[in-house]
Chain A
Amino acid sequence: MSHEAALHNHEGHESHGHDDHGHHEHHDTFLTKYVFSQDHKMIAKQFLITGMVWAVLGGLMSVLFRLQLGYPDSSFPWLESLLGKWAKGGQITPAAYYALVTTHGTVLVFFVLTAGLSGTFANFLIPLQIGARDMASPFMNMLSYWFFFTASMVMLSSLFVETGPFSGGWTAYPPLSALHDASPGSKTGMDLWLISMALFVVSSLLGGLNYIATILNMRTKGMTMTRLPLTIWALFFTAVLGVLSFPVLLSGLILLIFDRNFGTSFYLSDIFVNGVGALSNEGGSAILYQHLFWFLGHPEVYIILLPALGMVSEIISVNSRKPIFGYMAMLGSLFSIAILAFLVWAHHMFVTGLNPFLGSVFVLLTLLIAIPSGIKVFNWLTTLWRGNIRFTPGMLFAIGFVSLFISGGLTGIWLGNAALDIYLHDSYFVVAHFHIVMGVASMFGMFAGVYHWYPKMYGRYLNNSLGYLHFWITFAGAYLIFWPMHYQGLAGMPRRYFDFSIWESFKQFADLNRFISTVAMIVFATQLLFLINFFYSIFKGRKVTVLNPWEANTLEWTTPIRPGHGNWPGEIPEVHRWPYDYGKDGHDFIPQNTPVGEDETGTH
């Protein structure tokens, strides 16, 4: 009995690929081409654009609560017209503030930086860069998007329920999340939050399984694992992290659902609710939820970061016209980051009553992350070193990423120490740390990817001048917003407070807070500029006229300018070398599908 028959099922696509050159396929209706598409490139664009919508909403939320933090005494009548009872008299209410902070966190972490980032680029790049016609299962891929879309809609609807969206922080710790009476947001808002997250877990599972199976099983001839571009390796580990950690969150959430609705007390014990009285729940442990949450939560950080690491490696190498420095070291560090991601979760819990001796083990494991991260940083810098650098907007964002990764990573070493974390925990220092290293850095990775692969996505270029403007304002803005927060945090300013003006010790920061808020608004406006550039260029951007505009080695640039479903009109190219042959033997670049020459020096 042979598996071969099944393996080669996919060649059904081949005949499909022959008759279309990217314009339109005869049988495709609007519905099958743009809505329920099974083409990985279209699904990638769907993820990207849905992610962008969420990024705008999440960013707008941050502008609203920064308005409160920067101008706690002013009132803005337009806020009342926008938010109604949530901004009575033109000032955001505390309940609305917490709802905004919570939704901002949830949306940006899960919908923008997980679905929007790895959803987009895993879908777009995996088949193109490994030389496959499509994902292993295009149908599951489509389902993955539509589960994400449904999760989005449920989350969106929670913004409009009467009691408001969930407002207990994006981590949804019980008892705030487990008791309906704990806060207004803990009622319907929390139910919708749970449904949305459960759908999201399904989406990420469907996607992740597909990415793994595709990368392992569907590489083109000659594409060994060590000839894969680093983007693919990064996306591979991202998918592994998602497949192994999201189910743990799902278990945690199922227990939470039982606590909320069926009278159990997994997470509840000895609780007195004002206006309700003492609860009968006994014997549960709220710390258990935190463990379960962070068992996902920490790998989640790397799910967000790894795709950016991979894309940045690729973009830096292409635009420095040099092979990536230390390919195997890059690979090894990705692997060890992926493993360490599962071993360090409790460093988020040093002050929750975690056993201090257990905590010290987590300190040790956490600090180990500095090693692979350091390796990566040095390898990027040595790749840039004496390179013939082309400062495209994508490259600028990649370099910006490296800068932010260093700045944010260094503060991670502080926070990884339990002794320091006891002081810094839940302060603005933490806010600054994770926004720089996870939030902004990954956004930079995403921007780098969008600028770099936009010509492949739409067959047109983004406007360069707007790109430079976008980069410099965002880059400067990111530091201006988050750098001062380190000082605030060191001075003891706690996060999640509604109004600092009533605290004698934090009054000194009134001007600084206003400054941060102002910059935040400018940066947000700049992102709108990017959106205009993005959508304008889809229709009116400068047309791509050459197959390989960046003169890169990877396989996606061997496809037609606007590839159809099936990617290559003819045979799938065969691979003869690794993707980083830049500046070799007097050639500026040698694409992966070029056969090894006779007198070529050592090949990879």
Chain B
Amino acid sequence: MSHSHTDQEAHNAEAMAEIKKVTIILSIFTIVELILGFWMISLTSEGLILAIKGTIVILMMAKAFYIVAYFMHLKHEVKNLIMTIVVPLSLFVWFIGAFLWDGSSFRNLRNKYNPYFKEQATIKVEKKEHGAAKHEATDAKHEVAPAAKHETIGTSHETAKPEVEPYY
């Protein structure tokens, strides 16, 4: 691993250039993400929003790649080390897929068999004021027993579920 002096300097310059490059790339990706995020606020089209969200996820993965590959130096490690890191990470594919699949299935099941759950998603409630009332609820949370807690919170939720009979 011994380099001659000029080698060492060339190597240094190269490494610094790489750090600079990756910093710029990460910044640009983040700025693009933010622009997309701002743009999304004004949008109403479901399809377009979904497409933008997909783009953001891709940018997120790209950022992750640059951090791991260059900042954490993985790209310059021995191939063996890269493989032992990357191969186990692929377990996340099924980890994410199965969990989210079952999550959305759970929502569909409840919407189908639990009318209360479905109805709740259609009742609009008043936007609550910023103020002391919520603090009470927050602080009470910690001290009171579950039964009492139910009452405290219940008042703020009263509007949310007016006279829907529980089905369970």
Residues of A within 8 A of B (CB): 1-3, 179, 181, 216, 240, 244, 262-263, 270, 272-273, 276-280, 285, 287-288, 291, 295, 339, 342-343, 346, 353-355, 357-358, 361-362
B105 touches A343 (CB 8 A): no
A355 touches B146 (CB 8 A): no
B102 touches A291 (CB 8 A): yes
Residues of A within 8 A of B147 (CB): 276-277
A343 to B122, CA, bound (A): 37
A279 touches B102 (CB 8 A): no
A263 touches B142 (CB 8 A): yes
Any A CB within 8 A of the CB of B38: no
B98 touches A273 (CB 8 A): no
Any A CB within 8 A of the CB of B131: no
B146 touches A276 (CB 8 A): yes
With A2-B1, A270-B168: A280-B154 Cβ-Cβ less than 8 Å:
yes
B103 touches A285 (CB 8 A): yes
Residues of B within 8 A of A216 (CB): 84
A295 touches B95 (CB 8 A): yes
Contact with A along B120-145 (1 / 0, CB 8 A): 00000000000000000000011001
- Which A-chain residue is minimally distant from B138 (CB atoms)? A263
Q: Which residues 10-25 in B have Cβ within 8 Å of A in the complex?
A: none
B150 touches A287 (CB 8 A): no
A1 touches B94 (CB 8 A): no
- Which B-chain residue is minimally distant from A295 (CB atoms)? B95
Q: Which of A240, A279, A285, A346 contacts B106 (CB 8 A)?
A: A285
Q: How far is the CB of A1 from chain B (nearest CB, A)?
A: 6
Contact with A along B78-90 (1 / 0, CB 8 A): 0000001000100
Residues of B within 8 A of A358 (CB): 98, 101-102, 105
A288 to B105, CA, bound (A): 12
Residues of B within 8 A of A291 (CB): 98-99, 102
A179 to B146, CA, bound (A): 9
A342 touches B98 (CB 8 A): no
Residues of B in contact, count (CB < 8 Å): 27
Q: How far is the CB of B23 from chain A (nearest CB, A)?
A: 23
A263 touches B149 (CB 8 A): yes
With A181-B146, A287-B106, A358-B105: A280-B91 Cβ-Cβ less than 8 Å:
no
A354 to B98, CA, bound (A): 10
A280 to B102, CA, bound (A): 24
Any A CB within 8 A of the CB of B36: no
A2 to B1, CA, bound (A): 6
- Which A-chain residue is minimally distant from B116 (CB atoms)? A270
Q: Which residues 59-86 in B have Cβ within 8 Å of A in the complex?
A: 84
| 10 closest cross-chain pairs (CB), A and B | A355-B105, A280-B153, A263-B141, A280-B150, A342-B91, A2-B1, A277-B147, A276-B147, A358-B101, A343-B94
Q: How far is the CB of A402 from chain B (nearest CB, A)?
A: 30
Q: Which of A2, A273, A355 contacts B101 (CB 8 A)?
A: A355
Residues of A within 8 A of B150 (CB): 277-280
B146 touches A273 (CB 8 A): yes
Any A CB within 8 A of the CB of B157: yes
A385 to B2, CA, bound (A): 55
Residues of A within 8 A of B43 (CB): none
- Which B-chain residue is minimally distant from A362 (CB atoms)? B98
Any A CB within 8 A of the CB of B41: no
Residues of A within 8 A of B1 (CB): 1-3
A240 touches B102 (CB 8 A): no
The number of residue pairs between A and B whose CB atoms lie closer than 8 Å in the complex comes to: 66
Q: How far is the CB of A337 from chain B (nearest CB, A)?
A: 14
Q: How far is the CB of A363 from chain B (nearest CB, A)?
A: 13
Q: How far is the CB of A255 from chain B (nearest CB, A)?
A: 13
A279 to B153, CA, bound (A): 10
A353 to B102, CA, bound (A): 9
A263 to B148, CA, bound (A): 12
With A2-B1, A270-B168, A273-B146: A354-B102 Cβ-Cβ less than 8 Å:
yes
Contact with A along B143-168 (1 / 0, CB 8 A): 00111011001100100000000101
Q: How far is the CB of A235 from chain B (nearest CB, A)?
A: 16
A354 to B108, CA, bound (A): 12
25 A-B pairs with CB atoms under 8 Å apart are A179-B146, A181-B146, A216-B84, A240-B88, A244-B88, A262-B142, A263-B141, A263-B149, A273-B146, A276-B145, A276-B146, A277-B146, A280-B153, A280-B154, A285-B103, A291-B99, A291-B102, A295-B95, A342-B91, A343-B94, A354-B102, A355-B105, A355-B106, A361-B98, A362-B98
B99 touches A280 (CB 8 A): no
Instruction: Given contacts A276-B145, A346-B98, A353-B106, list 11 more A-B pairs with CB under 8 A.
Output: A216-B84, A277-B146, A285-B103, A285-B106, A287-B106, A291-B99, A342-B94, A355-B106, A355-B109, A357-B105, A358-B101
A279 to B157, CA, bound (A): 13
A353 touches B109 (CB 8 A): yes
Q: How far is the CB of A282 from chain B (nearest CB, A)?
A: 8
- Which B-chain residue is minimally distant from A356 (CB atoms)? B105
Residues of A within 8 A of B91 (CB): 244, 339, 342-343
A276 to B149, CA, bound (A): 11
A544 to B32, CA, bound (A): 72
A355 touches B102 (CB 8 A): yes
A3 to B103, CA, bound (A): 47
Q: How far is the CB of B152 from chain A (nearest CB, A)?
A: 8
A273 to B149, CA, bound (A): 14
A118 to B118, CA, bound (A): 49
Q: How far is the CB of B167 from chain A (nearest CB, A)?
A: 9
- Which A-chain residue is minimally distant from B89 (CB atoms)? A244
A346 to B97, CA, bound (A): 13
A179 to B142, CA, bound (A): 15
A277 to B109, CA, bound (A): 26
Residues of A within 8 A of B146 (CB): 179, 181, 273, 276-277, 279-280
Q: How far is the CB of B150 from chain A (nearest CB, A)?
A: 5
Q: How far is the CB of A491 from chain B (nearest CB, A)?
A: 31
Residues of A within 8 A of B95 (CB): 295, 342
- Which B-chain residue is minimally distant from A263 (CB atoms)? B141
Q: How far is the CB of B32 from chain A (nearest CB, A)?
A: 31
Q: How far is the CB of A5 from chain B (nearest CB, A)?
A: 11
- Which A-chain residue is minimally distant from B153 (CB atoms)? A280
Residues of A within 8 A of B98 (CB): 291, 346, 358, 361-362
A285 to B141, CA, bound (A): 21
A343 to B94, CA, bound (A): 7
Residues of B within 8 A of A263 (CB): 141-142, 149
A343 to B150, CA, bound (A): 40
Residues of B within 8 A of A240 (CB): 88
A595 to B150, CA, bound (A): 76
Residues of B within 8 A of A339 (CB): 91
- Which B-chain residue is minimally distant from A277 (CB atoms)? B147
Q: How far is the CB of B86 from chain A (nearest CB, A)?
A: 13
Q: How far is the CB of A97 from chain B (nearest CB, A)?
A: 27
A280 touches B157 (CB 8 A): yes
Residues of B within 8 A of A353 (CB): 106, 109
A277 to B150, CA, bound (A): 9
